[in-house]
Amino acid sequence: MTAPDSPLHRPAGPEARGFDQVETWVFDLDNTLYPAQHDLWGQIDARMRDYISGLLNITPEEAFLRQKDYYRRYGTSLRGLMIEHGIDAHAFLDHVHAVDLSTLEPSPRLAAALEGLPGTKLVYTNGSERHAMNVLGKLGLDAHFTAIHDIVAAEFHPKPTEEAYLRFLRAHGVDPAKAAMFEDLARNLEVPHRLGMTTVMVVPPSERIDTRESWEFEGREAAYIDFVTEDLAGFLEQLGV
């Protein structure tokens, strides 16, 4: 398979790994399999803030700061709430993922590109399986994935911790040296690359910086990013399968 090299699909460095050995294709969900412009994450973000505000009886502004602090320190806000407040994780996930998916539309081009990939396709998300299934259904992509590895399957160990990835690899029998991972957050690709995976960061061209924390942009020029693309479907099409 030929690695794409164009303004929209570029190797991040001269030592970028290729795809000839890839047998397992691993995709993050939110802001990766659909463009960030749909702002589902903005809805989830707001619902987390409201949940924390009610749980801790603090203002929405205070809840937002607490939420982002937990997100950065623990990998997910949920993990921080579990460790520091012992919350019911399932109730939290049900609440924050009760979002409006009406802006999502089927993506036949991406579906065809996924269909053309040889081997196994998996979704690996820090969200819930139900949320992933709802999103994949709206995108028309649900038939193209063998399994979804969600935060519950990970026993609430979130990306980017090494423990989370090792649990994922064991659960699905994935050889990291024969796998590729697609993510929108650079920090979630550091461990996969170290374990041997080819890494691709998906960066939407219309990304709204004001909806993300500044630290989420850290690492985008790091050596552990093999490829960067602004068009996931186009990237997969140009692999030349």
The residue to which tokens 């697609």 are assigned:
182
- The pLDDT of residue 178: 97
What is each CA distance from 107 to 50, 204, 231, in whole angstroms? Answer: 32, 15, 12
pLDDT digits (tens, 9 = 90+) for 151-199: 999 999 999 999 999 999 999 999 999 999 999 999 999 999 999 999 9
How would you class 191 by CB atoms within 10 Å of its CB: exposed for 0-12, middle for 13-18, buried for 19 or more? buried
Same fold, 9-38+105-237 and 40-96: no
Mapped onto helix, strand or coil, the DSSP state of residue 154 is: coil
Q: Which CATH number fits domain 40-96: 3.20.20.150, 3.40.50.720, 1.10.150.450, 3.40.50.740?
A: 1.10.150.450
For residues 135-158, give the mean pLDDT.
96
Residue 26 burial (CB count, 10 A) = 27
Residue 37's pLDDT is what?
A: 74
Q: What is the pLDDT of residue 12?
A: 56
**pLDDT one-digit tens code per residue, 1-45:** 656 655 445 665 556 788 999 999 999 999 999 987 777 888 999
Which tokens belong to 174?
A: 């994935």
Q: Which stretch of 21-30, 63-72, 199-208 has the lowest confidence by average pLDDT?
A: 199-208
Structural tokens at position 53 = 């505000």
**First-to-last CA distance in the chain?**
6
Q: What is the mean pLDDT of the chain?
A: 89
- Percentage of the chain exceeding pLDDT 90: 76
Q: What is 9-38+105-237's CATH number?
A: 3.40.50.1000
In this prediction, residue 220 carries a pLDDT of: 63
Q: How does strand 179-183 pair with strand 147-149?
A: unpaired
Least confident of 9-18, 112-121, 213-222: 213-222
Domain spans in the chain, listed from the N-terminal domain onward: 9-38+105-237, 40-96
How far, in Å, CA of 91 to CA of 55, rounded?
Answer: 12
pTM of the model: 0.88
Burial class (CB in 10 A: 0-12, 13-18, 19+), 28: buried
